[in-house]
Structures are given as structure tokens and as C-alpha cells.
Amino acid sequence: MTGPIPQTDATPKSSALDPNKSFQGLILTLQQFWAQQGAVILQPYDMEVGAGTFHPATTLRSLGKKPWKAAYVQPSRRPKDGRYGENPNRLQHYYQFQVILKPSPDDLQNLYLDSLKAIGVDSALHDIRFVEDDWESPTLGAWGLGWECWCDGMEVSQFTYFQQVAGVECAPVSGELTYGLERLAMYVQGVENVYDLNFNGLDGEARISYGDVFLQAEQEYSRHNFEAANVEKLFGDFSRAEAECNALLAFGEKGDDGRHQMALPAYDQCIKASHAFNLLDARGVISVTERQSYILRVRELAKACGAAWLKTEGGGA
């Protein structure tokens, strides 16, 4: 009853690529599915971010009129969620599979359900539900309406129609899908502890588990996030990133055709400031009132970067 979902004919024969048997198979299947829908399959952004939304392919590309379709895995870091590898569900580093489609297609819900089918979630057997969940990112100055998608009571994805990003009204609106990969994999593999996930889909000696790959990292980073990360340095990181972001934005304004020339590098600094803030928050050195002011400072950077992006070719200028 609690075993893995039976394999259907559509799933690959090799268990190494089977989305029901291997973590990487799940990722590859999703990539393949969205590639077939015409999405650009990107690689993870090479910076520390708290969620797939921070990737410029979502944050910045969701602004402006130009159509855009992309899908990618994004390692996400939430320093505060570290549990020293002792909690079966919580991680300070995990994977999101992110899909962004602009404008949101009319059959987005069906596309999403088809993607679940591709990874072996049969809607005749499982209770798939769209439960209200309005999304808001105070640091990105972004909000949207949508749902958390439930499969048999487990939240496996976030589904959002972006209404505003970086303080700018989205016109047109993008549809964003975020699959919580570990949760989804735990579900399809029938596993109750994330570290027991089969990573490579092989058995016996050849089997590599999620724990083999990440347990040590979770332990070390939990120590780092809660105990060791140098607070003075982090405060410095935050201020330097903030200053650099503003400096780069000012530099980019120098273009004489009215276009901005440095939106992307400036946005990197916004990401850095945000991550420094997350670490400071995990270290417990930011009081309730200060917290709000830090969030506002990051949001100001995000808004300025969004405004700059709209003055670039990618932003439709």
C-alpha cells in the first residue's frame, strides 16, 4: 500500500532513468517533458539563492512583453531550515524544478497534470488537488495568485500566476510552476525519509542514496549556518553587495540610447545581499524590527534591477 507507484508503460525501462526509482530520473523526465513543450532547458544559476524564482530567468525574464519559456533545476538554500541532517523532511539545501511560461498558456493546468503523468502520477489513482495558496515574496517585491498542488494530501508543487515582480505589474502575466523535487521523489518512490531516496536508481552496491550525496553537507552547513558563519563578515557582505548593486545600476545608466547596460550584474549583487540576509537571519542576530528593514533594503535593490531590466533588450526596450 505504501510502496512505490507502479511503473507505467510510458516510463523508461532502465531504472537509472525511471522517475519512480531514481531522483535523477525524475529530474531528467521533467526536463524532457518541458523541453517538448518548447521550453529552454537552462542549468542552475551559479549563485546561492533561496528559491528558483530568484534565478534571473524567472525574476527578470518575467518582466516586459517578450514571450519566454524556460525550465531548470535550481538548488535552493534556506539556511534557517537546516536540521543537522536529523529531520526526515527539512533541508537547508534542496532542489526545485522551476518552469516559467510567459504569457501563461490557457492550458497551463493541463500541461502541469501531463507533466505529473510523465513522472508516473496517475490521476485515476491519485487525488490531485489545487488548494488556494497566494504567493508573495517580500524581498523580490513580487506576488501572484495560484495554488499549492496536492497529491494525496502532499504538497508537491506551487502553481502561480505572477501579477507583480520587482514592484512592476507583469504584462503579460507569466505562469510559474515550482516542483519540490525531494518531496515529489519521496512521494513517487514511496520513501518517508529524504535521505533514503534512491538517487541513481540502481540497486545493491551500485545504489547511491540522497543521504550518500547530501547528508554530510546538511550536517556541515547546519553547523555553518547556525554556529560558525562570521556575523561581522556577513553584515559586511550585505552592505558591500548593496553598495555594489547601486553602483552597477548607476554605471549601467550611462548608455546614451536610453538603454540600461548592466541589469544582470547588478541583479547578481541583489541575490548576494539576499543570501547574506538569510544567513544573518539563521544566526539569529537580526531583531524583529531590523528584519523588516533588511527585507525592504533587498526589495529596493530588486525593484531597481527590475526597472533597469525593462530598459534592456531582454526586457523588451
Partner 1 sequence: MSDLLLELFSEEIPARMQAQAAADLKKLVTDALVERGLTYEAAAAFVTPRRLALQIVGLPTRQPDRREERKGPKLGAPEAAVQGFLKSAGLASLDEARIDTDKKGGQFYVAVIEREGAATLDVLAEILPAVIRAFPWPKSMRWGVHSADPNCLRWVRPLHSIVATFGPETEDPEIVPFEIGGVKAGNVTYGHRFMAPQPIKVRRFDDYLPALDRAKVVLDPARRRDIILHDCKDLAFAQGLELVDDEGLLQEVAGLVEWPVVLMGEFDASFLDIPGEVIRATIRANQKCFVLRDPATGKLANKFLLVSNILASDGGRQIAAGNGRVVRARLSDALYFWKTDQAPLPDFSEQGKPLDQRLARLRALDIVFHANLGTQGARVDRVVALARELAPLVGADLEKAARAAELAKADLVTEVVGEFPEVQGLMGRRYAEMQGEDPEVAAAIEDHYKPQGPNDRIPTAPVSIAVALADKLDTLVGFWAIDEKPTGSKDPFALRRAALGVIRLILENGLKVKLGHLSDLAINKGLQFSYSLKLADDQIAGEAKIHSYKSNRNKNFTYSFPTELTEREIISKMRLDAMGAVKAPLIADLLAFFADRLKIDLRDRGARHDLLEAVFALPGQDDLNMIVKRVEALDKFLATEDGASLLAGYKRAANILKAEEKKDGAEAFEAHPQANLRIEPQEHALAAALDRADREAAEKLAAEDFDGALHALSKLRAPVDAFFDHVTVNAENPDLRQNRLRLLAQLRRAMHLVADFSKVGGA
Work out how close the CB of 75 gets to partner 1 at its nearest, in angstroms, rounded to a whole number: 23
> Which residues make up the interface to partner 1 (CB under 8 A)?
1-2, 5, 65, 87-89, 103-106, 109, 123-132, 134, 144-147, 151-154, 161, 163, 169-173, 175, 187, 192, 287-289
Q: How far apart are CA 103 and CA 124, in angstroms?
A: 30
Work out how close the CB of 305 gets to partner 1 at its nearest, in angstroms, rounded to a whole number: 22
Q: Which is nearer to partner 1, 108 or 270 (CB)?
A: 108
Work out how close the CB of 27 gets to partner 1 at its nearest, in angstroms, rounded to a whole number: 22
Residues recorded for the chain = 317
Q: Which is nearer to partner 1, 152 or 203 (CB)?
A: 152
Work out how close the CB of 261 gets to partner 1 at its nearest, in angstroms, rounded to a whole number: 26
Q: Which is nearer to partner 1, 89 or 293 (CB)?
A: 89
- Please answer whether residues 143 and 135 qualify as being in contact, where contact means their C-beta atoms are separated by less than 8 angstroms: yes
Q: How far apart are CA 156 and CA 177, in angstroms?
A: 10
Q: CB 271: neighbour CB atoms within 10 A?
A: 24
Q: Which is nearer to partner 1, 47 or 128 (CB)?
A: 128
Work out how close the CB of 91 gets to partner 1 at its nearest, in angstroms, rounded to a whole number: 14
Q: Which is nearer to partner 1, 103 or 314 (CB)?
A: 103
